[in-house]
Amino acid sequence: MENRNRTGLFALVAVGVAAAAGAAFFAGKASNVVEPVQQQAGLAKEEVGPLVREYLLANPELIEEVQQVLQAKRDEEAQKLALAAIDENREAIFNAPEDMTIGNPNGDITLVEFFDYNCGFCKRAMEDVVKILEADNNVRVVLKEFPILGPDSLAAHQVSMAFRKLAPEQYGDYHMALLGADVRATEALAIELALEYGVEEEALRAGIADPAIGDSIRKAYTLADALGISGTPSFVIGDETVFGAVGSDTLLAKINNMRQCQSTVC
């Protein structure tokens, strides 16, 4: 009887921890098990709440442990969904004809970056990409123009995409200059830089008005939705979506793992 009661009490505490960690769990699952567990523990209904409260106050670290496990499970589930999305959209991610590439066009590993010209973390990530290309001459980088930070960003990306069609051989340098600017990227700034690289303004403005540019941006939005990407920078490498400016060392480690194990995690 003592062992049975201990089991019941433990289950009640587990339910209480789960409830404390997330109301959705309590509403969806805990309410289905409280009553039978309560009966097993031999407790009246009004005794359950104070008991669980007392135990959690004495052991608050349990809530943190449950939250960590819950977050790990959510991250694992999200990664599984991301992997499925990568498999379903592999061609659009890695080989879309409208995307520009830098680095080795025949590299054995491809790193895809979703970026916005007005994203501060993208400026940091640009330095990481440069370090990667300097450290590894067999990496191909695909740049996904993903303007999400307002009208200025959208306009700057439209100019950038028009420039790319006119002077693809200079796009890498132009991209670095526009992303590395210490002021907000706007249409005016993007045009100014484009003219400095020698393109004609009339041809550039005609390119900006090309409906194909809008189509390319909409494709990027659709692809990002499928991959669960809502911020910049975000990367896709092999079987993984990587969120944020995680640093060149982290990305290089994933690149090396891809070569060794065909996965970003060996």
Is the domain of 180 the same as that of 227? yes
Last residue of a domain, one of 59, 82, 98: 59
Q: Is residue 67 part of a domain?
A: no
Give the model's pLDDT for residue 30.
Answer: 46
Contact 144, 125 (CB under 8 A): no
Is the domain of 107 the same as that of 194? yes
List, in sequence order, every residue forming a beta bridge with 26; answer none if it has no partner: none
Q: Is residue 208 part of a domain?
A: yes
Structure tokens at 223: 């692809």
Q: Is residue 228 part of a domain?
A: yes
Is the domain of 201 the same as that of 255? yes
Digit-by-digit pLDDT tens for the chain (266 residues) are: 334 444 444 444 555 545 544 444 444 444 444 555 555 556 666 776 787 788 888 888 888 888 899 888 887 887 788 789 999 999 999 999 999 999 999 999 999 999 999 999 999 999 999 999 999 999 999 999 999 999 999 999 999 999 999 999 999 999 999 999 999 999 999 999 999 999 999 999 999 999 999 999 999 999 999 998 999 999 999 989 999 999 999 999 999 999 999 888 88
Q: Is residue 21 part of a domain?
A: yes
Is the domain of 48 the same as that of 95? no
Is the domain of 108 the same as that of 171? yes
Is the domain of 96 the same as that of 181? yes
Is the domain of 169 the same as that of 221? yes
The CATH code of the domain that includes 192 is 3.40.30.10
Last residue of a domain, one of 19, 41, 59: 59
Q: What total number of domains does the chain contain?
A: 2
Q: Is residue 238 part of a domain?
A: yes
Give the model's pLDDT for residue 263.
Answer: 87
Structure tokens at 226: 């499928």
Instruction: Please state, in angstroms and rounded to a whole number, the distance separating the CA atoms of residues 232 and 234.
Output: 5
Structure tokens at 134: 């300097």
Structure tokens at 102: 């830098």
Is the domain of 116 the same as that of 217? yes
DSSP string over 197-247 = TT--HHHHHHHHT-HHHHHHHHHHHHHHHHHT--SSSEEEETTEEEES---
Give the model's pLDDT for residue 80.
Answer: 81
> What's the per-residue H, E or C state across 13-62?
HHHHHHHHHCHHHHHHHHHHHHHHHHHHHCCCHHHHHHHHHHHHHHCCHH
Task: State the residue range of the domain holding 196.
Answer: 90-261
Q: Is residue 66 part of a domain?
A: no
Q: Is residue 27 part of a domain?
A: yes
Structure tokens at 200: 């004609």
Q: Is residue 201 part of a domain?
A: yes
Is the domain of 51 the same as that of 101? no
Is the domain of 37 the same as that of 118? no
Is the domain of 228 the same as that of 106? yes
Is the domain of 110 the same as that of 241? yes
